[in-house]
């Protein structure tokens, strides 16, 4: 009996797997409907083992049934946004040449003995794309069997337990939506509470969702946390210490200023974690409360950490990705022992500390300057909503820093020039002369990925 069959046998009808507004499905129902989905595809296609399948469905029970069914078939799954435009979809079709595209289906439970390919967990793959912060997203190829090992490791570290409720309100076609909210829940017998994808149209109902559904674990990217802070003036029902949900921050670097503002307004310690898609998802968790330094906590089992001479974090795991799939033919296999993350940090006393990324450190006059520290300091200023620091080529210094700032709505009717000057004085009091931006610009918005990472590469080219 394989790992997935053991999960469904263990929990069967005893546990609800997915719960949404109007419907619930048990582990047993999920399993039987996935087998019916398998049967349906087997009647149409001789084999899907190793074939590239586009899964282009809206977030629903059926989406996760399809994911499970395609795993049983040993397919190579590429989850795609159901909101993708035709131009982007045609680009992906041309690049990856899918054998099949699945947009919807309608199958019931099967009572037949459905045969699934032997060793399907070793054959089945899934591809997630890099966030695109470098401007060149790549397909990261994972073996499902390895991801199950990773999910078992992290869900144990995070203390997932059978029956606990996990809020799923992230993009379902992203790594975090698949790994943290689906796969980690699955291996521990948790209940996934399927809600609308988080965004500007539903931030105001976030807290009521946590309370009404009695959510045990939820995830926020730092940008999502900043949005909730901004919306807090409109939220009258949230009170300090009224939420018992463990909220984990993932997706990008959590600024100290965001952590403190969130704690001050909502009375909640955001739990920091660190993850790399290539290494199998989330791999650390900071369980200690009120930690405002750069620690992202203990590493999960199966992980080894090294720090290079240049302070880059190198990671080795039992569940590494297989490599990058550039297109349907070109595959670059990962063959190194350790994966170079591009993040800078320290590993001491069993804890990992993140200091930023290689591309977030510039050299000014031969000295290293952290863009993350400058951004964090600017975000600590009450009038600032969002910010991005960028390195700019300088003939004298080599590089200097410029700052783009999104200010909060101006209730005091101060013109933008004066607001910039006030911010500049604040930064002069809290940054060294080497760190001070040479120019500060007021902008309307800062481009983000869906999970809130800055498109820093876009700004570097401006």
* 194-249 pLDDT per residue, tens: 999 988 888 888 998 999 999 999 999 988 898 898 888 766 556 656 788 999 99
pLDDT at 53 over 70: yes
Instruction: Output the CA–CA distances (angstroms, integers) from residue 316 to 274, 283, 304, in the order listed.
Output: 14, 11, 5
The pLDDT of residue 139: 92
Specify the pairing of strand 76-79 against strand 125-129: parallel
Predicted local confidence at residue 451, as pLDDT = 54
The mean per-residue pLDDT over the stretch 17-45 comes to 91
Mean pLDDT along residues 397-423: 81
The proportion of the chain whose per-residue pLDDT surpasses 90, expressed as a percent, equals 54
Listed in sequence order, the residues at least 6 apart from 427 whose beta carbon sits closer than 8 Å to its beta carbon are 374, 377, 378, 381, 436, 437
| pLDDT of 259 | 92
Nearest-angstrom CA–CA distance, 87 and 89: 5
Nearest to residue 68, comparing CAs of 97, 107, 20?
107
Q: What is the mean pLDDT of residues 268-294?
A: 92
Domain 365-460 has CATH 3.20.80.10: no
pLDDT of residue 390: 87
Residue in the structure block whose two tokens are 């263990």 = 10
What value does the mean pLDDT take over residues 361-385?
85
- Which of 255, 250, 227, 224 shows the shortest CA–CA distance to 356? 255
Domain boundaries, the chain: 3-356, 365-460
Q: Taking 80 as the threshold, does the pLDDT of residue 51 lie above it? A: yes
Q: What value does the mean pLDDT of the chain take?
A: 87
Task: List pLDDT tens digits, range 55-104.
Answer: 999 999 999 999 999 999 999 999 999 888 999 899 999 999 999 999 98
The model's pLDDT over 252-264, given as tens digits with 9 standing for 90+, comes to 888 888 999 899 8
For residue 111, is pLDDT > 70? no
pLDDT at 133 over 60: no
State pLDDT tens for residues 151-178.
999 999 999 999 999 999 999 999 999 9
Residue 14 has pLDDT above 80, yes or no: no
- In the chain, what percentage of residues exceed pLDDT 70? 91
pTM recorded for the entire structure: 0.84
Half-sphere exposure of 114 (CA within 13 A, CB side): 21
Lowest mean pLDDT among 35-49, 340-354, 381-395, 399-413: 399-413
CATH class as words, domain 3-356: alpha beta
**What is the predicted pLDDT for the residue at 241?**
61
């Amino acid at each position: 009996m394989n790992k997935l069959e053991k999960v469904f046998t263990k929990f069967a009808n005893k546990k609800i797997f997915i719960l949404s507004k109007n419907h619930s499905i048990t582990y047993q129902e999920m399993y039987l409907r996935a087998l019916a989905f398998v049967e349906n595809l087997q009647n149409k296609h001789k084999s899907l083992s190793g074939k590239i399948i586009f899964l282009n469905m809206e977030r629903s029970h059926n989406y996760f049934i399809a994911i499970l069914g395609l795993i049983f078939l040993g397919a190579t799954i590429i989850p795609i946004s159901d909101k993708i435009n035709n131009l982007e979809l045609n680009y992906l079709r041309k690049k990856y040449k899918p054998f099949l595209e699945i947009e919807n289906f309608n199958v019931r439970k099967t009572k037949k003995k459905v045969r699934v390919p032997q060793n399907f967990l070793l054959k089945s793959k899934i591809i997630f794309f890099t966030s695109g912060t470098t401007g060149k997203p790549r397909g990261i190829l994972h073996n499902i069997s390895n991801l199950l090992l990773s999910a078992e490791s992290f869900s144990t570290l995070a203390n997932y337990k059978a029956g606990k409720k996990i809020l799923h309100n992230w993009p379902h076609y992203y790594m975090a939506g698949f790994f943290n909210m689906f796969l980690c829940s699955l291996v521990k017998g948790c209940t996934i509470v399927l809600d609308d994808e988080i965004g500007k149209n539903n931030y105001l109902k976030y807290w009521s969702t946590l309370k009404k559904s009695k959510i045990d674990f939820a995830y926020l990217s730092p940008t999502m946390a900043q949005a909730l802070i901004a919306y807090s003036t409109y939220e009258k029902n949230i009170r300090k210490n009224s939420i018992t949900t463990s909220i984990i921050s993932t997706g990008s670097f959590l600024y100290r200023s965001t952590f403190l503002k969130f704690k001050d307004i909502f009375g909640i310690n955001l739990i920091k974690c660190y993850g790399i898609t290539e290494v199998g998802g989330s791999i650390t968790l900071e369980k200690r409360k009120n930690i405002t330094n750069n620690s992202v906590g203990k590493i999960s089992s199966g992980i080894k950490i090294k720090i290079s001479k240049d302070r880059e974090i190198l990671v080795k795991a039992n569940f590494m990705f297989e490599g990058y799939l550039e297109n349907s033919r070109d595959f670059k296999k990962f063959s190194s022992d350790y994966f170079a993350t591009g993040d800078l940090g320290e590993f001491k006393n069993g804890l990992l500390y993140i200091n930023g990324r290689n591309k977030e450190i510039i050299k000014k006059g031969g000295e290293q300057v952290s863009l993350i520290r400058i951004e964090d300091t600017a975000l600590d200023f009450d009038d600032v909503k969002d910010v991005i620091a960028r390195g700019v080529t300088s003939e004298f210094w080599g590089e200097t820093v410029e700052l783009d700032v999104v200010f909060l709505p101006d209730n005091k009717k101060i013109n933008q020039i004066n607001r910039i000057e006030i911010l500049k004085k604040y930064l002069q009091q809290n940054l060294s002369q080497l760190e001070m931006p040479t120019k500060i610009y007021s902008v309307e918005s800062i481009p983000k990925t869906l999970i809130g990472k800055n498109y820093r590469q876009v700004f570097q080219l401006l």
